[in-house]
Amino acid sequence: MDRKVTNIGVLTSGGDSPGMNAAIRAVTRTGLYHGLGVYGIMRGYAGMIEGDIKKLDGISVANIIQRGGTFLKTARSKEFHTYEGRKKAYNNLKQLNIDGLVIIGGDGSFNGAQIFSNEFDIPCIGLPGTIDKDIAGSDTTIGFDTAVNTAVQAIDKIRDTMDAHDRLFIVEVMGRDAGYIALHSGIATGAENILIPETETDMEELICSLTEKEKRKKLVNLVVVAEGGDLGGANKVAKIISERIPTADIRVCILGHIQRGGSPTCQDRLIASHMGYYAVESLMLGRKNVMVGVINNKIFYTPLDKAVKEKQKIGQEWMKIVKILAS
Ligand code: F6P
């Protein structure tokens, strides 16, 4: 065993995701079970720098497993990008004898954890908490399932009105750099086209597929676009299409932050609980600077920098399937 921790801090950082509370609960209760001191760090790295840290007991995390958001709150801290900021954060941890951290967040949070841990020798364990699923080393991330289901429910509703009016709808889902929410929600709602950042859209093919369907009197057309799609967001795509097909009756719907909130699905609660438990076990065993992921229902550890750099690859066969199923 490399190093045994005695007091651990847990924080949520970056964009919140449903299931973060379940993960905090699992980390806290597992830590307490092992006789560790557990501290909740408020507003991510910002609270670490300001010393906004509170001791947690079993009751502190009662009745939160079903709640969206994060009771520790979250932030993106500019100060943590500076050495001075990180030094202040370290001093605050030292004062409380915190010698291990669990960081629940996405790529930016893991980058910060890696730098901090290298500088100050505090072992950090990452849990992938992001609706975007843009992290390698795990089949899924905490919050993705909830976000996709929220998008699917919303798009199903849009389909009703879309169908009643024979309209072309462009629905924008979240994902600045990642197309997973668009891909999964688009497939699950039978979208005719899905535009994502990872794939270059063939403009002529898109226009051709929409006009061809119009000719066949398949007037209802759903295009799901990731906010960071290669042609831009939904408004941009709508403009391009209306210039090329002036007869199309187009409407745009941007789902936005509704996808980040809400009660986590059972799957998100489960993976958050599973990963949270193993985050503490990992610190106890002396692991550091790895992310806890789940692959084929088994716990899997990936170095933080690798989890961020490699991202998740989108299988191109899915794009082919989308076209065939929507024809
Ligand atoms: O990373 C999660 C995410 O929801 C992205 O999909 C989105 O682009 C971004 O966060 C939005 O961030 P903010 O809440 O700061 O607007």
Residue 288 is predicted with a pLDDT of 93
**Is 315 within the bounds of a domain?**
no
Q: Using the mean position of ligand 1's atoms as its centre, give its distance from the Cα of residue 3 in Å.
A: 36
Which one, of 270, 253, 228, lies nearest residue 19 by Cα?
270
Q: How far apart are the CA of 76 and the centre of ligand 1, in A?
A: 11
Which range marks the domain in which residue 16 is found? 7-143+264-310
Same domain, 44 and 190: no
E-assigned strand segments in the chain: 7-12, 37-41, 53-55, 100-105, 124-128, 168-173, 193-195, 221-226, 250-254, 290-295, 298-303
> Relative to the CA of 176, which ligand 1 atom is closest?
8
For residue 218, what pLDDT is reported? Answer: 64
Spans of the chain below 70 pLDDT: 1-3, 214-219
Closest CA to 126 of 100, 89, 98: 100
Write out residues with Cβ below 6 Å of ligand 1. 15, 106, 130-132, 174-176, 227, 260
Catalytic residue ranges: 132
Q: Which two tokens stand for residue 138?
A: 């795990």
On whether both 66 and 44 belong to a single domain, the answer is yes
Separation of 181 CA from ligand 1 center, angstroms? 12
For ligand 1, atom 12, the nearest C-alpha belongs to 15
Question: Which of 132, 134, 146 most suits a substitution to test ligand 1, by most atoms within 8 Å of the C-beta?
Answer: 132
For residue 78, CA distances in Å to 99, 143, 212, 246 come to 23, 24, 49, 45
Q: Which atom of ligand 1 is nearest to the CA of 106?
A: 1
| Atom 6 of ligand 1, residue of closest alpha carbon | 175
Q: What is the dihedral of CA 93, 98, 99, 101, to 10 degrees?
A: -80
- What's the gap in Å between 218 CA and the centre of ligand 1? 34
Structural domain count, the chain:
2
Any domain includes 2: no
Closest atom, ligand 1, to C-alpha of 259: 4
Backbone angles phi, psi at 12, to 5 degrees: -115, 140
CATH number at residue 24: 3.40.50.450
Tally DSSP H helices, then E strands, for the chain. 11, 11
Judgement on whether residues 135 and 11 belong to the same structural domain of the protein: yes
The minimum-distance atom of ligand 1 relative to the CA of 174 is 6
| 88 in a structural domain | yes
Fill in the amino acid letter for 133. Answer: K
Assess if residue 100 is contained within a domain: yes
Q: 12 in a domain, yes or no?
A: yes
